[in-house]
Structure 1
Amino acid sequence: MTTCMIPGAWEVVRITRVDSCGRPVYGDCNAVVSRCIATITDTPEVEEAEPRTQTGFDGTACATEVGCDKVNYHTIEATWSQINLDAFSFMNPAARITRDSSGEAIGRFGTQRIDCSAGYAIEVWARSMGESDACSGQSEAEGQWYYRVYPWITGATPGDLTMGGTDEVAFVFTGRTKTRTRWGRGPYNITLTDGMPSGLPEPFDPDEEEPYWEGIVTLPPPEADCDCIEVPRPIPDPATLSIIADPADFTRMTVRLAADNNGLGPVLVDWGDGSPVQEVGDLAAVSHKYAETTYGAPVTIRVCDKEDPVVCSEKEITLPLPSDAPDMAITGAATPEEPNRIAATVVLPPQAAGHVVIDWGDRETTEADAGDTGVVDATHVYRYPGRYRVCSYRAEATRERTCTVADVPMDPYSG
């Protein structure tokens, strides 16, 4: 059943500090929840496409092709009637906050510098109106709210401020959205997924231009409080490991590892050969050379979150490492109904994380989990016959790829 989004009365706004990669900043005083916001205005900044006209010898137009407009970013103007002083430093890190002897914010200095090095996220909730606004079909749901999140906004250009007269004092700030955020599903539980409190139903893709998400959520918004509050560090998922041979060592006995810990800080790496456990930053690449005594023997690399060391990833490798690129074979898989159908079998090296991406060469891709076998079988149907360059690569190490040419339609016995 499709849900219709009908926002009702706006209820709550939450602003959260994010870092220079668009990741939430965890710890004390990194979020503010308020009901005292007058308006939020979203203005898409559109780049209009120029029409392309083909003219004849006499200068008359033969054909005109109209392109597609493009949204470069969204301008977000927020008008606050009440705001925590620390929130000024979220929106503009250049703002200098004055604190009393107990550390409470009591004032701020104006600044003419707009710092866009980091940023902030804005979430808004409105009571959802509609036929099923009470429970959305889930017995555990506490209601239904329209929700929108801008995970990464930078800049906070101040607007006009009028003091005196009959109008209420309001603080106006304008920022711009950024994309390719690492907000993921977010640091908060906002809805129920399969009966369990969770973040966004799907994470933001750091490789896509996605300035916001909007939809229906089934957990109530947070309570408004003028205090600057803690953003609790979530329990992390096991880190995704990227393991390849260090290209500087032709013996392939040196392993190069990077751990994606979902923006939650450093990990502890146990190389499995009795060497000391090593602390490595999130997404930082580090190399480790194994001794000749490990030649031909299986070694288990164990990577654990530093703050929650019970959350770990493991990968068993054998040294020296085999080729880092996947093996791929393509064959014809034509049927009378689908003469341009081909099949691909991709075999990952044992050090790979398990996800494969196949680029079929016609702007179509397939992503699949190789599971415990390390093998992915996939088929694809081309719209037109022709020659296509088909490439497969590891999702966590995109430079490790194998490519071949498919001549479509392809003989079922060729490859």
Structure 2
Amino acid sequence: MNPSIEDGEDVTYKAANGRQCGFKKGCPSLQNYDLEINFFSVSPEFLEITTGNPVVFGWDGKPIGYDDCSIKCDTGFALEFWTEVLGDDVCAADGAGEGQWIYFLLPWVTNGILGDLEIGSEAVTLQLQGASRAGGGWGTGPYDVMPIDAANTAGPMLTPVGPSCHRRSFLTTIAPPEPICEYTPVTGGLCLAS
């Protein structure tokens, strides 16, 4: 995730004699995060969601591939991922600790395109390129990603993602869900700001 920043315009105040009497540093703007994500295992459904390109179906109606077509700039998706926190401080002294993860959310990714593809004797990996956008209507989200009480009860985020935000990350004790490679409906819908 590489930030794309537009530099702000500095303002200099000068007196009638040309001497500088004031200066205000320009405020930079975060335009987006340019994304490069490598995947070693994907499904045709995943590629359709992330790139907007159509799935190819087999005789039995099951997805077997995808088409590479024009870049779809009018579609988008959200991307959540967890990375495990390793270290002594995340486990209870008796070894009964559940673990911790850093949860990352990109609530709106657009311009998804597959990058370089190498086919050889090793495993094939796919690189997805895209860009974040602010907002996306994620709100507090449709999934249980953080504890909502001292009993470690899983629940949605306690505060909504703001309309000018591109990314959120936080420490959580809620484990990531089991991966699913098929279409799965979003329960509760989006725009869950309250």
Distance 1:91 1:104, change over 3 A: same
Q: What are the within-5 Å matches in structure 2 for residues 52-131 of structure 1?
A: 52-57=11-16, 59-93=18-52, 95-111=53-69, 113-131=70-88
Mapped partners of 1:58, 1:169: distance in 2: 67
Deviation at 1:161, TM superposition (A): 2.3
CA distance in 2, matches of 1:46, 1:100: 44
Q: Quick check: 1:230 aligned with 2:184?
A: yes
Aligned equivalent of 1:175: 130
What letter corresponds to residue 109 of structure 1 in structure 2? D
Match of 2:91 in 1: 134
1:191 maps to a residue whose letter is M
What RMSD, in angstroms, separates the aligned Cα atoms of the two structures?
2.6
Q: What is the correspondence of 1:4-403 to structure 2 with a 5 Å cutoff?
A: 42-57=1-16, 59-93=18-52, 95-111=53-69, 113-134=70-91, 142-164=98-120, 168-194=123-149, 195=151, 196-205=153-162, 208-225=163-180, 227-231=181-185, 233-234=187-188
Structure 2 Cα separation of the partners of residues 218 and 130 of structure 1: 14
**SS in structure 1 opposite 2:182?**
strand
Q: Which runs of 5+ in 2 are unaligned?
A: none
Change (3 A) 1:109 1:229: closer
What is the identity, as a one-letter code, of the residue corresponding to 1:52?
Answer: V
Q: Gaps (5+ residues) in structure 1?
A: 1-41, 237-261, 265-415
Number of residue pairs the alignment of both structures matches: 187
Once the 2 structures are TM-superposed, how far is the Cα of residue 202 of structure 1 from its aligned partner?
1.8
Q: Deviations over 1:150-205 (max 9, x none)?
A: 111111133222334x7653222211112222212222212221133201232223
Structure with the largest fraction of strand: 1
Residue identity in the other structure for 1:187: P
Largest Rg, 1 or 2: 1
3-state SS of paired residue (2:116): coil
Partner letter of residue 108 of structure 1? Y
**Quick one: distance in 1 between partners of 2:81 and 2:115?**
21
TM-score by length of 2: 0.82
**Structure 2 CA distance for aligned equivalents of residues 193 and 88 of structure 1:** 33
The DSSP-based 3-state class of the residue aligned with 2:117 is coil
Relative contact order, higher structure (CA 8 A, sep 6+)? 2
The residue type equivalent to 1:104 in the other structure is K
Structure 1 length-normalised TM: 0.41
Q: Specify the code of the residue in structure 2 equivalent to 1:116.
A: C
Residues 214-253 of structure 1: CA deviation (Å, up to 9, x unaligned): 111112112234x21423524x8xxxxxxxxxxxxxxxxx
Q: Distance in 2 between matches of 1:67 and 1:75?
A: 23
Q: 1:50 to 1:232 in 2, by over 3 A?
A: closer
How big is each residue's C-alpha offset from its partner over 1:33-52, in whole Å with a ceiling of 9 and x where there is no partner? xxxxxxxxx01110112222
Amino acid at match of 1:128: V
- Structure 2 letter corresponding to 1:190: V
Equivalent-residue separation in structure 1 for 2:6 and 2:122 (angstroms): 36
Match of 1:223, as an amino acid? E
SS in 2 for 1:91: helix
- 3-state secondary structure, aligned to 2:45: helix
Contact 2:48–2:66 under 8 Å retained in 1: no
